[in-house]
Chain A
Amino acid sequence: MKFTSSTRISALFLSVCFAAIAHAQNAAPSAAKTPPAAPAQAQPWKSIPIPPLHEFKPKEPKRIELANGVVLYLQEDHELPFIDGTILIRGGSREAPANKTGLVSLYGETWRTSGTAAKSGDELDEELAEKAASIETGGGSATTSLSWSSFKQDFDSVFGESMDLLLHPAFKADKLQLAQRGIMTSISRRNDDPGEIASREAARLVYGANSPYARQAEYSTVLSVTLDDLKAWHDRTVIANGIIVAVEGDFDSAAMETKLRAAFEPLQRGTLIQTPKVNFPGPTPGVYFADKEDINQSTVEIVGLGTQENNPDYYALSVMNEIFSGGFGSRVFQYVRTKLGLAYDVGGAFGASYDHPGVFRSEVGTKSVSTVPATQAVLDTIAKLKTEPPTADEMRKAKDQVLNSFIFRVDTPEKTLNEQIVLAFYGYPPDFLEKYKDGVEKVTAADVTRVANKYIDVSKLAILVVGNKSEIEPPLSQLGKVTDLDITIPPPPGKPTE
C-alpha cells in the first residue's frame, strides 16, 4: 500500500545514513464491530476446496560441536552454485562500556575495511568484487559477526580470506576515522526524520536513557573510541566458546565439516563476556513531547515493557497481538485506520525478546490536529483488550493467521538455519518453533483475556509525541501531564551548540 515513485531515493539515503527503522504495521480482526453477513449475500469463497498441503519436511541443519566449544551448523542447499557463511560472535553493544557507546558499530565497520595483516581492506574490496563475492563484518546489540558469500568454486579462497580476517585483523586509524565520520553523520541527522526520533526516544523512555538497550552514540563517545579499544574488543570476544558458525549452500557436508574443523579447531577457549545485569522498571508514565516545527504530522508511540519469548504466556500473548494489531483485520487497524481514517501508519505489538523484556509498543502517525483523538483511539483499543474479551470469530482468525502462515517460517533452508542459530545463541531448545505452533493451537479466549489482564496496564504506559507544537490542537495536556523532551544534539567536544 505504498507508492514508490519518489521513495526510492529516500530509502537509499536512509539505509546508509540511519539505522533503518522498519516497523511492520499491520493489524488484525474487528470483533463485535463486524456485522454478520446477511444470508442474502453470496460468499462463493466458502465453497472453494482447500486440499491438504503437500507433504513437507523442513530441512534442518546438521549441528556439530567442537571440543573447544565452537558450534557448527551445516545446511546443504544445492539449488544455486553459491556458498554463504556466518561466524556469530558473542558480545555486542550492550556489553560495551557506556562512555564508548558506538564502539561496537565502529568495530563492525573498521574490522572489514581495515583488512588483514597481509591484505588491506581496499585490496580485499577489489579482489572480492572481481569474483562477485563478499566478506562483511558487523556489530549488533548482542553479537558481532563476520559473514561471507561466493560462488562455490571460490569458496576456498573467500573462506580463507574470511578466516584470515577473523584471526589476523589489522585495525587501521584511517578506517576507524572513516567509520567515525559515518556515525557522526548519522548523529548530525538524527533529528531530521520524525520516525527516527520517535523510535529512539521511545526506547529511551522504556529502558532508560543510560540502559545498554537504549543508550545512543554521541560525538563525544564516538570520538573517544581508539584503535586499542577495537583490538581489545576483538581479543576479548573472538574465543572458541563464544562462536557459532553457520554455512549454507552448494556443498557436501562431510567435506565441509573437514574444512571447518581444520579452520576452527585451533581456536582457544576464553572467558565469555558477561551480559550486564540490568533492571527493567519500565517507563515513567506520562506524556512526552518533542517539538519539530517543520512537519505537519505527529508520530505517536505508546510504550511500556514487553516480555521474553520463554515466558509460558508467550503463546497467548502472540494470539493477543494478532487480535490487537496483527493485520488488516486487527482491532487497531480496523478502528484507527479504516473506521476513523486517522492514520496510514498504525500498529503495534506486545513485543518479546529472547533474553530480556521487549517493548510493548503501539504507534500511530496522524495529522497534527488529530494527534489527541488518534492517540486516544489507540489507547482505547489497548484498554479494550481487557474489557472486551476476544470473540470466537477473532480467536479463529487470529489463530488461523498464525498457523496457516507458519509454513513461511520454515519454507527455505536459510530460514530454518537462521532459526537454529538464534535459538542456540540464546540457549533455547531446538524445537522451540514446533512448540510455538502447538502452543498457539491450544490458546483459548480465556487465556487471551487472562494475559491481557495480567500484562496490560494503560496507566503504566508512556506516550511519546513527535510533532509540530504550533499545529497540535486540542493540546496534548488532554492526555496527561506533558514533559518536553530536549532532543538537542550535544555538540562535539570543544564546539558550541549549533
Chain B
Amino acid sequence: MRHRSWTALALLGALGIATAVPAQDLASFEKRTTVKVLPNGLTLIVCERPEAPVFSYYTLVDAGSADDPQGESGLAHMFEHMAFKGTDKIGTTNYAAEKIALAKVESTYAAYDAEYRKLVGQNAAKLATLKKAFDDAQAEAEKYVVPNQFAELAEQNGAVGLNASTEEDSTEFFWSMPENRLQLWAYMESARIAHPVEREFYKERDVVQEERRMRIDSNPIGAMVEQFLATAYVAHPYGRSGVGWPSEISQVTATEADAFHKKYYVPANIVIAVVGDLKASQAMPILEKYFGAIPAGPKPEPMTTIEPKQFAEKSVVIREATQPFFIEGYHRPDYRDPDDSVYDAISDIFSNGRTGRLYKSLVRDQKIAADAGGLSNFPGEKYPNLFAFYAVPIPGQTPDAMRDSIHKEIEKLKTTDVTDAELAMFKTRARADLLRGLADNEGLAHELAEYQTRYGDWRQLFHELDRIDAVSKADIRRVANQIFIPSNRTSAEIVFQPPAKPAAANAGGGL
C-alpha cells in the first residue's frame, strides 16, 4: 500500500494511554464513522471530527488513466479538467440554447476531424471550410458560458484546497469548506457528477497540452519516467502516458469524454468521504437527497488486460544535455497480494530518511549520490505494478555507478536477513504514521475513501497494521529473491551529453 495505514489499536494498548487522550483507535472511529451505500450504488462515508467549524471532502472515482480507451490516452485526465466546467445549471446563461449549440460544435468537429485524418486525398480548401464551421460553432456556444462559475462559486463560499487529480487507478476531487456550506457543496458535487457539461472542451484540450509540455516535454525527469513506463509495460495501460500522447490529446473529443463519463462516473463506481464538524444524523439525510438523485448505471466491467510475465531485461538510455539520473523497476503483483506489506517493508528499509539503506550506502558512505530510494506501487497499485529504485548521482558520477551500487544492496537483501532493528523501525514508523494522519480532515477523508474503495471497508486502514506486524525477515528475503531478478527488470537512465551545436549558434541576442 502506498497510503499510510496501520493500527492505532495495538499501539495505544501497548502504551497504555487509551484514557489519557481522546481515543484514536478503531473503536473510537467506529463510533464517529458512518457508511451508507445508497440505492443507486454510491457509497457515502461521514466521519465526525468537530475540532473546528469546517469540513473536507474527497470524491474518489474508481477510474483513472489506466482506463483511457485505446487511442484516447489522457481522456480520464481531460474529463477531470472538464468537471470544473460546470453543469446544466452552473456555468450557463441558457442551457437549453447552449445544448443545441454544443451539439453543433460536435457535429462540425466530427466533419472537420474526418477530413483532417484522411491519409489520402485530404482537401486543403475543404479542411479550411470545415475548420471555420467548427470555429464558428464554438464561438456560438461560448455565448452562453459563464466561465469558471463552478469553481468560483466554491471559492466565493470559502473553499480552500480546491483541486483534483488523475492517477492511473482513480480520479479524485477535493476541497475544504466552512461547515455551514455542507448543503451547497452536496448540491455542487452531486450536480457535476450527474450533469457535467462538456463546454469549452476544445480550448481545455490546449490547456492540457500546456500541462503536458510543462510536466513531460520540458521536464527531463517527467520525460524519462514516461519512457521508463512505456518500456516496462508491453500490454497493460500502465505503460501509456497518463497525461496522454500529444497526438491523442489533440484529437480527443467531447463526445468521447461524455462516453467516458457515462461508463465510469456511475454511482456504483464512486465513494465520497466527508470529515469534519458535522453530525452523521444531520448530514446523511442531506447527502442522501443530493447524491441519491444521481442516476444509477452498471458498474464498469473490470479490465481484462494483465501484463504478461516479463522474460527479457529492458533498458532505456537517454543521451542529452541534462544531468544524469538512474531508475530501475521490477514487476510486482497488485495491492491485494498477500505480500503487499512485505514490499512496504522493503521500500521503508531501503529508503526511509537517513536510516534507509540506499542513503547510507550511496549517499553517506560511498559518496556517489545526492539521493536514492525505493518506491513500491509505481505507477499505481490496482494492477500489477513496479517496485522501483532510483538514484541521483552527484557531479562526476554516472548512472552505471548508481546501478552497480543498487544491485549490491539488492543482492544483500536476497542473501542476508535484515536486522531486528530495521524490521522494528519499520513497524514502529508504520504505527506512528497512521496516528499522525488521523488529526487532519483532508488526509482522513482521503484515506477513508481510498480504503473503502480498495477493500470495501474503511476499517482496513486500521487492520493493515496486523499485516505489517506479521512481516518477517524470511518474507523479505523470499520476496526479494522472487522479483529482483534481471529478466524482470527495466531500467532508464539519463546520460549527460554536451549539446551538439556549436556555442556560437547559441550566442547572439535580439530575438
Contacts and interface: CB of A to CB of B under 8 A. Distances in A.
Interface of A: 1-10, 12-14, 16-17, 28-30, 33-38, 40-45, 48-56, 78-82, 113, 121-122, 125-126, 129-132, 151-153, 177-178, 181-182, 184-186, 188-189, 192-195, 250, 289, 291, 293-297, 326-329, 333-334, 337-345, 365-367, 397, 400-401, 403-408, 410-412, 469, 472, 475-477, 482-484, 498
A4 B2 CA distance: 14
Which of A289, A338, A345 is most buried by chain B, counting CB atoms within 10 A of its CB? Answer: A338
A404 B143 CA distance: 31
13 contacts: A2-B166, A41-B95, A129-B355, A153-B17, A189-B323, A327-B151, A334-B147, A334-B148, A338-B203, A343-B207, A367-B213, A404-B157, A477-B510
Contacts of B380: 5
Contacts of B156: 329, 397, 400-401, 404
Given A342-B210, A411-B54, 4 more contacts: A1-B84, A6-B226, A81-B12, A295-B218
A12 B353 contact: no
B81 to A, nearest CB: 6
B180 A482 contact: no
A472 B511 contact: yes
Contacts of B355: 125-126, 129
Which of B215, B226, B241, B393 is most buried by chain A, counting CB atoms within 10 A of its CB? Answer: B215
A478 to B, nearest CB: 9
Interface of B: 12, 15, 17, 20-22, 24, 51-54, 64-65, 74, 77, 80-81, 84, 89-90, 92-96, 143, 146-153, 155-160, 162-168, 176, 178-181, 183-184, 187-188, 200, 203-211, 213-222, 225-226, 229, 241-243, 277, 320-323, 325, 327, 352-355, 363-364, 367, 370-371, 373, 375, 378-380, 388, 390, 392-395, 421, 424-425, 428-429, 431-433, 435-436, 438-439, 498-499, 501, 506-511
Given A338-B147, A366-B210, A408 B164 contact: no
Contacts of A37: 93, 146
Contacts of B74: 3
A80 B435 contact: yes
Contacts, number: 339
Q: Closest 9 A-B residue pairs measured CB to CB? A: A5-B242, A404-B158, A329-B152, A328-B151, A132-B432, A341-B203, A185-B370, A297-B213, A341-B206
A9 B375 contact: yes
A279 to B, nearest CB: 28
Contacts of A43: 89
Nearest to B437: A80
Nearest to B142: A339
Nearest to A51: B180
B163 to A, nearest CB: 6
A54 B179 contact: yes
B214 A345 contact: yes
Contacts of B435: 80-82
A225 B321 CA distance: 29
A486 to B, nearest CB: 9
Given A129-B355, A400-B156, A81 B325 contact: no
Given A1-B80, A6-B229, A45 B370 contact: no
Contacts of B353: 125, 129
Contact of A130 (B15, B159, B370, B425): B425
Given A10-B219, A178-B367, A50 B180 contact: yes
A73 to B, nearest CB: 19
B504 to A, nearest CB: 13
Given A38-B93, A181-B367, A404-B157, A126 B421 contact: yes
A181 B225 contact: no
A253 to B, nearest CB: 16
A33 B149 CA distance: 12
A337 B84 CA distance: 13
Contact of B155 (A33, A130, A195, A401): A401
B436 A56 contact: no
Contact of A1 (B164, B203, B388): B164
A10 B436 CA distance: 25
Nearest to B179: A54
A136 B21 CA distance: 27
A93 B388 CA distance: 37
A367 B249 CA distance: 15
B208 A9 contact: no
Nearest to B508: A484
A26 B97 CA distance: 30
Contacts of A184: 394-395
Contacts of A397: 152, 155-156
A404 to B, nearest CB: 3
A12 B220 CA distance: 14
Given A327-B151, A328-B148, A482 B509 contact: yes
B493 to A, nearest CB: 13
Contacts of B89: 41-45
Contact of B221 (A13, A151, A297, A366): A13
A210 B252 CA distance: 49
Nearest to A401: B155
A222 to B, nearest CB: 12
Contact of A53 (B178, B214, B438, B506): B178
